[in-house]
A and B are shown apart, each in its own frame.
Chain A
Amino acid sequence: DTAVSQTPKYLVTQMGNDKSIKCEQNLGHDTMYWYKQDSKKFLKIMFSYNNKELIINETVPNRFSPKSPDKAHLNLHINSLELGDSAVYFCASSSYQETQYFGPGTRLLVL
């Protein structure tokens, strides 16, 4: 069984479009995260939710909006996509004060 899953795995879209990436974890964790990995492999946290509440919101354009319908899901919606948004987006989850477990990533390419 996949612990942290993301859909879609690949996403190719035009500039200006709006897209969503979904994340689900079946580990019973109460904290979920979104990371962005750029072309140089640099990995940076974007958001963190604990029990459906936003607890970390790094300096990210407000075109990015996370949504957590329940503890097992954390979706990422991106408005007005730009070329610079092309990256790999990783979802992760953890229990409180425990190690983070990562999903397989969503490779976003904006044309």
Chain B
Amino acid sequence: AQSVTQLGSHVSVSEGALVLLRCNYSSSVPPYLFWYVQYPNQGLQLLLKYTSAATLVKGINGFEAEFKKSETSFHLTKPSAHMSDAAEYFCAVSGHNFNKFYFGSGTKLNVKP
């Protein structure tokens, strides 16, 4: 069985501040992990993915995430928030067949000027 938990349904940061969005996973098999972003009234866009290569994964728009097996975590970070980063972020886990994605409940990121 697989699942993800995103801590904090809302996160608010100031422009230029560090962004940290938390994701913890549960998986009975070595997981593949993903972060997706959803802008208002749009579909989900892939930010980055971990597929058992490098544990530190760099994605688009300056985001990165680190897979930590000991902590069962895959937190998303960005050193300096931009107003355009305001969106909903979803963490997801799948097995190696990619067929079933299990999504977290999402974290809404607000960026204050």
Contact = CB atoms under 8 A, between A and B. Distances in A.
A90 B103 CA distance: 13
Interface in B41-68: 41-46, 49
Interface string A16-52: 0000000000000001010000001111110010100
Contact of A102 (B43, B88, B98): B43
Contacts of A59: none
Interface string B27-51: 0000000101000011111100100
Given A42-B105, A43-B103, A56-B99, A99 B44 contact: no
Interface in A64-111: 90, 92, 94, 96-105, 107
A40 B46 contact: no
B43 A104 contact: yes
Contact of B49 (A96, A99, A104, A107): A99
Contact of A31 (B44, B99, B105): B99
A12 interface: no
A40 B105 contact: yes
A43 B37 CA distance: 13
Contact of B43 (A40, A55, A105): A105
Sorting the interface of chain B by its residue count into under 10, 10 to 19, 20 to 34 or 35 or more gives 20 to 34
Contacts of A44: 103
B36 A102 contact: yes
A71 to B, nearest CB: 16
A105 B42 contact: yes
A104 B42 contact: yes
A103 B49 CA distance: 18
Interface of A: 4, 31, 33, 40-45, 48, 50, 55-56, 90, 92, 94, 96-105, 107
